[in-house]
Structure 1
Amino acid sequence: MRYDFDFSAPLAYWPELLAAAGTTLGLSLAATVFGFLLGVFCAIAGKGRVAWLARLTTFYVETIRNTPLLVQIFIVYFGLATVGLKVDAFTAATAALVINVGAYTSEIVRAGIESIPKGQLEAAECLGLTRRQLLTHVVLPPAIERVYPALTSQYVLLMLASSITSQISTEELTAVANRIQSETFRSVETYLLVAAAYLVLSLVMRLVFWCASYVAFPRRRRLGTTV
C-alpha cells in the first residue's frame, strides 16, 4: 500500500494555524504566570504555622495531582456555568490550567524550600530578619533557583497538555487541527504539521526560560549552569 503525502491542503489554512499557535502560547503564558504565583503561595502556606491553611493546601495539592486534567477542565467549564458564571472557553481553560499547574508548582517549590540549609535560616533569624524578609531574601530566591530546571520542564509540559482544552472548544492548535483534517481529509499531514508546531513552541519556551534564568540568576550565569 502506498500513501502520497500532500501538505498543500492543510498548509492552505496557515493563518488559522498561526492564530491557534498564538492562542496556545497565550494559554501557556497565563497559566505559567498565575500558576507560579499560586504554587509559591501554596508552598509557603504548606510550610507555614497556620494549621488549617496548611491542611487546605495539602488537600488541594493531593486532589489535583491525583485526578486527570481533562476531568478538572470539565469541572471548571461546566461547573462555572452551573452556578451562573458564563465564561468563554479560553477563560475556563486558563483557570483549569492554572489550578492544575499550581499544584505541581507547589510541590516543586516546596522541595526547593526544604533544600535550604537550616544553618542558613538560623543565621538569618539571628540577624533579626522578620518572617517576610526571611522568605523574600533568604528562602525563596535560592529555592526557586535550585528548582528552576524542574519548573521549566513543568511549564513546557503544561503547554503540551493545553491540547486537551480542545475538548471544550478552545481554539488552540489541536482544536483547529481537528477541524482542518475533517475538511481536508488529510489527517496525517495535518497532525504532522501540528506536531512540528508544538515542537517549535517547546523550543521557543525553553529559549525564553533560558533567557529569564540568564537575567534572574547571575550566579548560575557565572557558573555556566543556566537552563
Structure 2
Amino acid sequence: MYVLDFSVVFERLPELLWGCVATLGLAIAGMSFALIIGILGVAMRQSHSAGLRWTAKAFIEVIRNTPFLVQIFFLFFALPFLGLRLSPTVTAIIALAINGGAYAIEIIRGGVDSIPRGQTEAGLALGLSRRQIFRFIILKPALRAIYPALTSQFIMLTLTSAVCSSIAAYELTSIAQRIESETFRSFEVYFTITGMYLCISWLLMVMFALIARHSFSYPTK
C-alpha cells in the first residue's frame, strides 16, 4: 500500500521555488519576444511587398501546424549540424518566442483588421507616415481589443514551457523530474508542482490585469 510522504517535497521546496522563478523568467522572456514577433509579423502581413506577406504566412503555417516539442527539438538538436549550438535555456526562450509569436500574429492581425479604414485615411490626411499611423492609430486600439485573447495565449505559453524540460532547460518541471527520480515520490512531487503552476497562472493573470488597467483603461473625467 502506497503511503503518502510529503516530507521529501518540503525538504526540496527551495529547489522547487527556484524552479517557479525560472519558469516565470522563461515565460516572461518568451512572451516579450513573442509580442515583438507578433507586431513585426502583422506589419509584414500588412506590407505592400508580396515577399514579406508570403514569408509571414509561411512562418505562421509552419509553426502553427507542427508540435512545439518538434520545434524545440529542431532548435536544440538540428541546429548544431548547421554550426549553431544553443544552451537549453536560450533554446527554450527562442522556441517559446517563435511558437507564441506565430499565434500572436494572427491574434493581433484580427485586432488590426477591426480598426475602421477611415481612421487610417484620417491619419494620412493629417500627414502622418504609415509607421506613425500603425503605431499610434492602429496598434494601441487593436491591442486593447485583443488583449484578453493575447494574455490567454501567453498564459498557455507559460504552461507549455513545461515541455522545455525535454531538453533539460532549467525550469519547474525539469527540477520536479529530477527530484522524483531521486526520491520515487511521484504523486507528492507532481501534486505539488500542479499547485505551483496554478499559482504561476494566477500571478500572471493578476499582472496582466494590472497592465490592462494602467495601459488600456480609458481616462476618466
TM-score above 0.5, yes or no = yes
The CA distance in 1 between the partners of 2:141 and 2:162, in whole Å, is: 33
Structure 2 equivalent of residue 108 of structure 1: 107
Structure 1 equivalent of residue 91 of structure 2: 92
Does structure 1 retain, via aligned residues, the 8 Å contact 2:5–2:188?
Answer: yes
Structure 1 equivalent of residue 134 of structure 2: 135
Matched residue SS, 1:218: coil
Structure 1 equivalent of residue 20 of structure 2: 21
Structure 2 equivalent of residue 63 of structure 1: 62
How many equivalent residue pairs?
Answer: 220
Q: CA deviation at 1:116?
A: 0.3
Segment drifting more, 208-217 vs 191-200: 208-217
Percentage identity across paired residues of the two chains: 41
The CA distance in 2 between the partners of 1:143 and 1:48, in whole Å, is: 17
The alignment status of 1:175 with 2:199, answered yes or no, reads: no
Name structure 2 gaps, 5 residues minimum: none
Once the two structures are superposed, residues 64-108 of structure 1 have per-residue CA deviations (whole angstroms, 9 ceiling, x without a partner) of: 000000000000111222222222100111111111111000000
Structure 2 equivalent of residue 225 of structure 1: none
Structure 1 equivalent of residue 79 of structure 2: 80
Runs of 4+ in 1 over 6 A off after TM superposition: none
The CA distance in 1 between the partners of 2:170 and 2:63, in whole Å, is: 24
Does structure 2 retain, via aligned residues, the 8 Å contact 1:10–1:181?
Answer: no
Q: CA deviation at 1:183?
A: 1.4
The 5 A counterparts of 1:19-58 are 19-58=18-57
Q: CA deviation at 1:186?
A: 1.1
TM-score by length of 1: 0.93
Structure 2 equivalent of residue 117 of structure 1: 116
Matched residue SS, 1:87: coil
AA partner of residue 191 (structure 1): Y
The CA distance in 2 between the partners of 1:80 and 1:207, in whole Å, is: 37
The CA distance in 1 between the partners of 2:206 and 2:61, in whole Å, is: 31
The CA distance in 1 between the partners of 2:39 and 2:4, in whole Å, is: 48
AA partner of residue 215 (structure 2): A
The CA distance in 2 between the partners of 1:195 and 1:28, in whole Å, is: 17
The alignment status of 1:149 with 2:127, answered yes or no, reads: no
Does structure 1 retain, via aligned residues, the 8 Å contact 2:108–2:146?
Answer: yes
Q: CA deviation at 1:217?
A: 1.1
The CA distance in 1 between the partners of 2:203 and 2:56, in whole Å, is: 32
Q: CA RMSD in A?
A: 1.3
Does structure 2 retain, via aligned residues, the 8 Å contact 1:108–1:150?
Answer: yes
Q: CA deviation at 1:199?
A: 0.3
Matched residue SS, 1:116: coil
Name structure 1 gaps, 5 residues minimum: 223-227
The alignment status of 1:198 with 2:215, answered yes or no, reads: no
